[in-house]
Chains A and B, each alone.
Chain A
Amino acid sequence: MKKKSTKNQSTNQSKNEKKDQPNQKLDLLLENQPKINKNFQIGTYLTCTLKLSELKDYPKKLIYLDIKCIRIIFAEKTEFITKFQKTTLQFLENYISFLQKKPIRNFATKTHPIRMFIDKLRTKIIKKHPFLIKYFQFTEKIDHIDCQEVLNYLVERCLERVVITPIHNPLITSFHLESIKEDYILDEKMKKLYKKPPQFFGVANKFLKINWESPIEILSQFRICKFPFEFLDILINTADRIYFTSKRQLETLSQLNLEENISKDDFSITADGFLPIFLYTLVQTKLSNLQTIQNFLLDLSDPRELSSEIGYYLTTYCSSLKFIRSYK
């Protein structure tokens, strides 16, 4: 009986593997015709941002700011919402017809209008409501944070939800189609690398006793992300958890005298130490469609963020993919 079940398993596996072949995946994806969800209500997506459960990972001060900001911009300005919804719908309709007209050779040309639309709208909202900046300056004193940037950050999040939600399915399908081969290669290499120990990725000896389950769990949440800012938040949270986990566990090991050679200065992780740990974490998540995620983020993330800390961790993600791709 056991032999039979293993045989069945192996045949099932081979069937699944066949299903995963790029050409079949392509057929499945092509069935999704680009459609715009015209029934969406801007208000629905904006009220979503008010849910505290979604904001649990924000710094406390920012939760407060986020709610206040959205209330000011949208909830108290119904006229603006109407105009805003009309403009957004008009843009989305134009955009979908632009995509449907003919196949566009340059993929960047496809997504460029979305990013441009969000950028312009964000600037416009902030420019049209100068009192918002004053509000932040005089009622909220946050150390070392530029109020203008906080506002940019919050409005960007609202707009990504508003603009991307109704076209998310056709958009993500386009990205899938664009990188289907690369995704397949990465998936295969991820499977092979999964069994490799941390040493293989160059994780330093002092970190070998650390259990990285927690950052792996956080990075795995990529599966449920929809908007660029959600992916970027996960990247930041993963990095945060890597630092936290290593520091906490090394301290414990040191207290228990299990790791004799570790001095207090060694609790920290430099860039030499971080990249291998991030690589190991990423491989352990068993995530798929990694190339699609990379292209989606590079094309649709706020370009202003790409030279900041968020950009640094996105770059680390991109370089990790390059490392995985080069594995033979």
Chain B
Amino acid sequence: MTFVTPNASKIVILGDSGVGKTSLALRFTHNEFHDLELSTVGAKCFTKSVHVADKDVHFSIWDTAGQERFQSLAPIYYRNSRAAIIVYDITQKKSFHEAERWVDEMKRHGDEDLVIALIGNKSDLNEYREVKMKVAQEYALKNNLIFLETSAKTGEHVEDLFMKIAEMLPSVHAKIPENLDHNFGIVSISKLEEKEKRKEKKNCC
């Protein structure tokens, strides 16, 4: 059981099944590759803080299912996220095409200030490479994405990825209003009634 981290920025990890989404999150949050203790709850929602520009940035990282049959469910997961990490496997061309599709979807449906990172994972398996770094780099540049090749296995560039995302996030966090009234919300009901009335008037006209 983890408690709420105030002002945590939600990051969603998307990508084809088996590209290493969970491993990437685990490497960043626990500095481990295979975590045999994954049986503890919390494995699919990771939290970690980084220190950037004299500020603590808290992340709430949401892992998602990458199978094709679950693609239509993704919007429920990426709603209200500040950043999206789209992962592909450098040894599988198909996963890169899938990543391109995710980029398109996030561009169309994500928030305006959504930070998008394109990540080529499994850089330790360079000898089996199917996706050229240059191709991915050019695609990322064209679409204004953060681009890195990482290895969740060795940890290469994993920390850099989250630091880059932290730097790109809008620095001002939404503030929770603190002007609490003393009648415990009773006023609020009347305010809502007023709103309803206004709506009805509009509808009448």
Binding site for B on A (CB under 8 A): 59, 62, 87-88, 90-91, 94-95, 98, 101, 104-106, 109, 112-113, 116-117, 120-121, 123-124, 145-146, 148-150, 152-153, 202, 236, 239-240, 243-244, 246-247, 264-265, 267-272, 274-276, 304-305, 307-309, 311-313, 315-316, 318-319, 322-323, 326
Contacts and interface: CB of A to CB of B under 8 A. Distances in A.
A308 B189 CA distance: 29
A106 B10 CA distance: 28
Given A109-B192, A312-B62, A318-B76, A268 B38 contact: yes
B135 interface: no
Contacts of A312: 44-45, 62
Contacts of B39: 243-244, 246-247, 267-268
30 contacts: A87-B183, A91-B184, A94-B189, A95-B189, A98-B189, A104-B196, A109-B195, A120-B180, A146-B3, A149-B4, A149-B6, A150-B3, A202-B69, A239-B41, A246-B39, A247-B39, A268-B35, A269-B38, A272-B65, A272-B67, A275-B70, A275-B73, A308-B2, A308-B4, A309-B1, A312-B62, A315-B77, A319-B76, A322-B76, A323-B73
Nearest to A153: B3
Contacts of A113: 185, 188-189, 192
A150 to B, nearest CB: 6
Given A94-B189, A202-B69, A120 B45 contact: no
Given A94-B189, A319-B76, A274 B65 contact: yes
Contacts of A105: 196, 199
Contacts of A305: 4
Contact of A123 (B42, B70, B180): B180
B34 interface: yes
A303 B34 CA distance: 33
A173 to B, nearest CB: 20
A312 to B, nearest CB: 4
A271 B189 contact: no
Interface stretch (B16-24, B93-101, B106-114, B118-126): B16-24
A152 B4 contact: yes
Contact of A271 (B8, B21, B69): B21
